[in-house]
Amino acid sequence: MDVDAGHGAALGRALPAAAQTVPTQEGSFTQRLRSFFSFQSNNDDPVATLTRTHRNIHPSADVAVVRRSYAIAESMHRGQFRKSGDPYITHPLAVAQICAELGMDTTTIVAALLHDTVEDTSYTLEALHGDFGPEVTHLVDGVTKFDKAYYGKAAEGETIRKMIVAAGKDVRVLVIKLADRLHNMRTLDARSPASRARIATATLDVLVPLCDRLGIQALKRDLDDVVLYHLEPDSFARIDEHVKNRPGWDEYLADVSGKARLALRHSRVDAQVTPRPRHYYSIWKDTVAGGHSVPLDLPRIAVVVDGPDTDCYAALGAIHGRWRPVAGRFKDFIASPKNNLYRSLHTTVVGPEGKLVEVLIRTETMHRYSEYGVATSYRYPKVADEPPGADQLTWLKRVLDWQQDTTDAAQFLDSLRCDLAEGQVTVFAHGNAYELPSGSTPVDVAYELSPRQGDQCLAATINGRLAPLSSPLRDGDVVEIFSETDDHVEVEPNAPRGPRREWLGFVKSSQAQMQINRFFDEKNEPGISIADKVRLGRATIGLTLRKHDRGLASEVPLRRLAEELGYPDLETLLVAVCERSLEPDAVVEQLIALVDHPD
Ligand code: MN
């Protein structure tokens, strides 16, 4: 069974269908929680809502295949139930609904309906391949978890690594995984407080940052809020109370929007102005960050200009001409984009009645990418006016690059967390801009330039001045790296060469950590411990067994095989597998023979 399974039901709208205004409060998940108790499922046609949502966004979509996949999923999961007692099929149906509301294509919806069949039922990847073809199979396989009973603690890391590798080929794997987690989080109420907190924390740890990196704000808002609901129920309730009792709030926003429209018209800027409420989590974050005793929630409007990027600056001029801007609150995420697809201008002005008002300014295209990130090209297939998710894919490729060098799943997970860390700085080196984790140093920059530059780096200047290699860099710093092989660098003959171990104490980027570790691993074995090798050997056998669609319920046959092959114990056999002095395929063949024909 899905470890995250709670009680489920097909929820109402999981995401706003229209990109225009995003009434997060009205569509807040508490209300949805409330409403789903009264939600009457469509008994005669359980997929009616799903196919309608899908057709609304993609009018020529083939819903026959959606119905066929539902029928198979339903029959495979029949007899299984969620913690709440609901039939299990309510879960994949809700996950598919979330994907449909995001605007994903038919293949994604089919895979979402089937996403737990291979993991939790007797349906095999082969059968899936025969019924729905390679694309759906790849997507389902990408979200299928490794067996916890078999992998033990490495299961989580290995599962996430597998998912990331699968997403490298097809990013829709991650969209399904995020929708899956969103629905599981919404239905955690049937579980103990401890497991709710554990799952919510794990979500916040990796999946929310992943969602942010993929730029799918529409999904991230819902994930954020459901995490807050489980981790900080009191704060959530306080913000909910605050948001629902704001006399004059709507009138004020309508007044500001009207005046902004007028100001824009005077400046001849074509634009739509709409109130844009914040979601609960973002109110909570600002409240905590500012140390406020009451929820801090400034009124906010979005200006979506109908024209080229430069119109955003014209709109900014119009707004600043109408109301005085607050110093230090202007941010230009168009000229300096974040490390996801988000692009906008942000400013805060002193609005009517002397109240502060936040203003977001963007074009229609920026608006789409800001809401849907990598999902944009699926939602709007005909207007792919920008390379779909180019930034995300570069990032994903880099993660995939270093994952090949990480043998240990736990280490992989650590590096991923670090890479996803929210704080980032942009620095300039040798003519290029680099995004690095905050606190990064010239050594991080050197490894970003190339592994060789990193290994041979000797000195650095920051903004033209010589600085220690361990200096933390600030946003906008210009860095120059000097290495052993530079012609103009004179190296003292006795100066130590190559990377230093102490660098590991201050570097921040995964790239630098991996490269330095690799350097020392190569120089002096053993780079990984026996315990790691045992774990890896076990993981390798598990993977190989999966190729044969098999798993191991107990270690007894493996121990017997170790004995038969003349190894002193199971651990030694696993080390041999890890070091490839024993071929995993051969081991698995003998193992299967041993289990199938015990004599
Ligand atoms: Mn699931």
- Buried b / exposed e over 249-270, threshold 16 CB at 10 Å, is eeebbeebbebbbebbeebebe
**Confidence label for 16 from pLDDT (cuts 50, 70 and 90):** very low
pLDDT average, residue stretch 168-191 = 91
The alpha carbon of 160 and the centre of ligand 1 are apart by a number of angstroms equal to 14
Highest mean pLDDT, choosing among 234-248, 472-486, 498-512: 234-248
For residue 336, pLDDT over 90 is answered with no
pLDDT confidence of residue 532: 74
Q: Say if residues 455 and 463 touch (Cβ distance below 8 Å).
A: no
pLDDT confidence of residue 492: 57
pLDDT average, residue stretch 409-433 = 75
pLDDT confidence of residue 567: 82
Report the C-alpha gap between 68 and 366 in whole angstroms: 36
For residue 570, pLDDT over 50 is answered with yes
For residue 502, pLDDT over 70 is answered with yes
Residue 448 annotated as catalytic: no
pLDDT confidence of residue 581: 79
Which among 86, 101, 105, 120 is annotated as catalytic? 120
The alpha carbon of 91 and the centre of ligand 1 are apart by a number of angstroms equal to 7
Highest mean pLDDT, choosing among 290-304, 313-327, 561-575: 313-327
The alpha carbon of 99 and the centre of ligand 1 are apart by a number of angstroms equal to 13
For residue 344, pLDDT over 80 is answered with yes
Tell how far CA 579 is from the center of its chain.
Answer: 33
The alpha carbon of 231 and the centre of ligand 1 are apart by a number of angstroms equal to 21
Report the C-alpha gap between 592 and 395 in whole angstroms: 40
Which among 74, 119, 405, 521 is annotated as catalytic? 119
Residue 522 annotated as catalytic: no
pLDDT confidence of residue 527: 52
The alpha carbon of 117 and the centre of ligand 1 are apart by a number of angstroms equal to 9
Angle between helices 530-547 and 584-596 (to 10 degrees): 60
The alpha carbon of 84 and the centre of ligand 1 are apart by a number of angstroms equal to 15
SS (H, E, C) 81-135: ECCCCCECCHHHHHHHHHHHHHCCCHHHHHHHHCCCHHHHCCCCHHHHHHHHHHH
**Confidence label for 34 from pLDDT (cuts 50, 70 and 90):** very low
**Confidence label for 199 from pLDDT (cuts 50, 70 and 90):** confident
pLDDT confidence of residue 533: 76
In angstroms, the Cα distances linking 96 to 130, 200, 316 are 21, 21, 39
pLDDT confidence of residue 404: 66
426 by DSSP, 3-state: which? strand
The alpha carbon of 181 and the centre of ligand 1 are apart by a number of angstroms equal to 7
pTM as predicted: 0.69
The alpha carbon of 136 and the centre of ligand 1 are apart by a number of angstroms equal to 15
pLDDT confidence of residue 384: 54
Residues near 440 by Cβ (< 8 Å), separated by ≥ 6?
425, 427, 472, 473, 507, 508, 509
Q: In terms of pLDDT, which residue wins out, 110 or 502?
A: 110
pLDDT confidence of residue 93: 97
Q: What angle do CA 73, 76, 81 make, to 5 degrees?
A: 95
Structural domains of the chain, ranges and CATH numbers in brackets = 17-231 (1.10.3210.10), 244-379 (3.30.460.10), 394-519 (3.10.20.30), 530-596 (no CATH)
